[in-house]
Every structure is written in structure tokens, then in C-alpha cells.
Amino acid sequence: MSERDELIEAITKEVLSSIAGQAWDDYLACVGDCAAHSSEKVRSVIAAGAARVSYMGNGADVPTDLAGFIDHTLLKPEATAAEVDRMCDEAMEYRFASVCVNPAWARRVAERLRGSDVVTCCVVGFPLGATMPEVKAMEARRAIRDGAREIDMVVNIGALKSGDYDLVERDIGGVTDACREAGAVCKVIIEAALLEDTEKVIVSQIAKRAKAHFVKTSTGFGPGGATVYDVALMREAVGPEMGVKASGGIRSAEDVKQMIAAGATRIGASAGIEIVTGGTASGRY
């Protein structure tokens, strides 16, 4: 067994043991039900290290001191200009951290947000990741030129599963280079539902080596979304310094609690108002 295989096996065993034996109650007691209706508990989550919380509900429901930690997200393909404008206006009114959209909307969002503290976030290679590294790097640079300050890129999943790790690193590195040149944040979406545990660890380590700022579980459009196990595994793989974003299939306040307890520092969800009111939803990005 190679040194890489031994490391991956050790990490996987450690996470499995942790999930099987750890008492989660102490962790879950420290996080809240929602930004709008349990704001004091959410403040404790932020104090514990959460960098951002995604939310798509009514901005008026969120206390103003929490708004700066929220990504206002709209990635559905049928999104209209009016919907995008509404997201931007609400983000500015309630001082959300960012508006996250597909690249076609980058310039419109950046212009709409001009003069505010709200940043533009765009996805790249989304949702399949099956484009060439040069294309993703170009897409990232164009989005950044159009005003994006955060980029969520989808990794080349086929290359990863083929064992072509040099291509995977080049794929991620091209986008992280584009981001770092411009002072933008890069998040790498690994689409965990399509991967074996060893592949999740490998790609997380590659993303860290390529100087990405975050690893992210899912697009929200794949065969499955974020799981507590995957978040914990990715956290073990990248260590405490790098961000981990849980996204896809997060539909209740309980889901949010468990993801944060497992090590997520950001949450991506399309459930919006259902999550912040403690309900459930079946929506997607």
C-alpha cells in the first residue's frame, strides 16, 4: 500500500470512528434553528467560526447584524432579470454578504450592486465540471472582469475518477490562479455524491495544494447533496485552516445544525424561508 493510500485509509477510519462514537448533542446545543427566528443561537454559530450562511428568503426577516454573513443565492436556469434585480436590491437593503448567480448575470449583478458592500459571486464550469481547464480559467477571469469577487468552480469529476490527478490539479489551479490574481475567493465543488471516500479525500487535498480557499460538497444539481459524513471527511482532509462549504439537499434547520457541527464554515441551500422558520423544503438552487 502506498503512502497516499495509507493516509487516505487513516483519515477515513478516523472520520468513521468519530461519526459513530461522538456525542453530537453538545455541538448541536450551540447552534440555532434559523437566522430570522433564533438569531441569538445563530450569533453563537458565527462566534464559533462560521464565515457565511446562505439564505434566499425575505431580507426583512433577518436581523441586520447577521446579514453580512449571508449569501443570497439564485442559480436556477430559469431565473429572470427581474428576479436577479430583486435579489440584488434586497441584498443591498439588508446588507447581505453576496449575491451568487450564474456568470451570464455577473455584469448585471455587479452593476446593480455598485457602491454597496455586497459582492458578486459566480459559478464556473457549473454544474457538470466537464470543460477544459483553460475554459474554466477563462470563464473565471471573465466573471471576475465582469465584477465577480467569489468563484465557485466545479472540478473535473471524470478526470478525478480516472486517476488523472495532474489534470485535476491543473483544472483547479487555473481557476485559483485567476482568483488570486484579482484578490477573489475560490471555492472548489467536488460533487461528493459521485465520489468514493478515497476520491473525496484526494480531491480535497489537491484543492488545498492548488491554493483554493474552500472545498464545497455539491452543486445542488447532482444525484445527491451534502451529508454530515462528507463534511466531516472533507474537514479532516483539509485541516482547520481551509473553508468547507456544505451545499445541496440542505432543507431543514436540523440539516444546518449537523453540517456546522461536522465542520462546515458555510452553508449553501435553496430552502430559504423554510429553513429559517424551522420547516422543510424540496427546492433546489
Cα-only R_g, the chain? 18
Domains of the chain, first to last = 3-276 (3.20.20.70)
Distance CA 115, CA 137 (A): 27
pLDDT of res. 28: 40
DSSP H or E run through 182: helix 165-182
Residue 83 near residue 102, CB atoms below 8 Å: no
Per annotation, catalytic residue among 136, 187, 200, 245: 245
Q: Determine whether 216 is an active site residue.
A: yes
Instruction: Look at residue 33 in the predicted model and tell me its pLDDT.
Output: 37
| Amino acid at the residue 162 | S
Inter-helix orientation angle 165-182/133-145, to 10°: 10
Amino acid identity of 46?
A: I
Q: What is the pLDDT of residue 261?
A: 84
One digit per residue, the tens of pLDDT, for the chain of length 285 reads: 666 666 656 655 555 555 444 433 433 443 333 555 555 555 555 554 555 665 555 555 554 444 565 677 888 999 999 999 998 998 888 777 788 899 999 999 999 999 999 999 999 999 999 999 999 999 999 999 999 999 999 999 999 999 999 999 999 999 999 999 999 999 999 999 999 999 999 999 999 999 999 999 998 889 998 899 999 999 999 999 999 988 887 777 677 778 878 888 877 765 544 554 555 555 445
pLDDT for 41: 54
CB 207 within 8 Å of CB 172: yes
Rounded to whole angstroms, what are the CA distances from 234 to 144, 145, 174, 210, 262?
Answer: 27, 31, 22, 15, 10
CA neighbours within 13 Å on the CB side: how many for 178? 28
pLDDT, position 131: 96
Residue 152 annotated among the catalytic residues of the structure: yes
Per annotation, catalytic residue among 71, 152, 230, 255: 152
Predicted pLDDT of residue 257: 74
Q: What is the reported pLDDT for 260?
A: 79
Which H or E run contains 226?
none
Going by C-alpha positions, the residue among 62, 138, 124 that lies closest to residue 93 is 62
| Cell 471516500 found at | 197
The overall longest dimension of the chain from CA atoms, in Å, is: 56
Catalytic residue among 216, 230, 255, 257: 216
Residue holding cell 473535473? 156
Phi, psi of 181 (to 5 degrees): -60, -35
What is the dihedral angle through the alpha carbons of 267, 33, 241, 199, rounded to the nearest 10 degrees?
-50
How many whole angstroms from its chain centre is CA 103?
Answer: 16
Rounded alpha-carbon distances, angstroms, from residue 112 to 74, 81, 82, 199, 278: 15, 11, 12, 40, 31
Contact 42, 70 (CB under 8 A): no
Instruction: Please give the grid coordinates belonging to residue 12.
Output: 477515513
Instruction: Tell me the C-alpha distance between 247 and 171, whole Å.
Output: 21
Residue matched to cell numbers 493516509? 7
Alpha carbons 213 and 274: distance in angstroms, whole number? 29
Nearest Cα to 249, choosing from 223, 225, 273? 225
Question: What is the pTM (predicted TM-score) of this model?
Answer: 0.76
